[in-house]
Every structure is written in structure tokens, then in C-alpha cells.
Structure 1
Amino acid sequence: MIFEYTPRRAARSPVTDAATFKVARLRQAPSRGETALDMSHLIDLSYNYHSPRELRWHLADRLGLAPMAVALRESARA
């Protein structure tokens, strides 16, 4: 499954002091001739992600898939 997410800046991590991001919008990428589906309800939009990899693992867990079965791409920033 391919997902497109729109990140927005979030606070620095108090644990790692690294920049984090929140997801403003999450959509399932459309197949040919279809429209993108809004999937934002699948995740906590207030969570501070440390990396796209963390978001991918979170989505895989929520969907009961192997992490390698989930692909992400970033859309324009909100």
C-alpha cells in the first residue's frame, strides 16, 4: 500500500533533541483512475513522529501488514 502524508513541524524531542513532525494529512495514494482516500483517521494526528520510517511502522502495525508492504511519500508541507 502506498500512502502520501503531509507533514507539519512539531516540537523537538525531549529524549533525542531531534526535530519531529506531526502528520497534517494522510492519504492512500490513488490507483489509476481512482481518487485518493483520506486515511487520517487511522493515526493520532497529535503524535510527534521522529522519522518517516516510524510512521511507516506505525501504519503497518495499524493495518496488520509487514512494514515492507507499506510505502510512504511526502506531499507538500502544510
Structure 2
Amino acid sequence: MKNLTNYTAGTGYVDRENATINTNGSVHIVVSAIRPDGVGDCVDTGGRDHGMMGLRFVKPTDRPVTRCSVVKATDLS
């Protein structure tokens, strides 16, 4: 997941080197204009209010399960 506007600042992407992997092997990525408290992996929108997102999996051993949800930042914990 990359936001090329913020790529050099390090806030526009999450990759395997900087992702927080949960005990069940999942990764939660928050895309937000602000960084909510208590959120590990967050991609900064760079001030944009719309766009598209892509996920890339290189040689996964199983078919990755993905899910996307829109929630209020205040509901994140």
C-alpha cells in the first residue's frame, strides 16, 4: 500500500519491513489524514479526501484474505 506523495517521508506506505504483524498473521492498515492514537500501521493520505488503494502480494503460500472497512477515527483502538 503506497501513497507516492508521502513516499519519501515514510508515511505513505506499509510494507513487510515496517508492518506490525498480529499474532494470527494478519496486518491492519489504517488510511487516514490524521494518525489516530494507538494505531500501529497508518498510511497518511497526504491531505487527499479520495483516491484508490492497491495491495500486492508476492509469492504468497496461500490465497490472502483481505477486508476493507470505513470507520470513524474515534472508533479505532
**TM above 0.5, one fold?**
no
Give 1 or 2: higher strand fraction.
1
Greater RCO structure (CA 8 Å; 6+ sep): 1
- Which category describes the TM-score, using the shorter chain as reference length? under 0.3
**TM-score in terms of structure 1 length:** 0.26
Give 1 or 2: higher helix fraction.
1
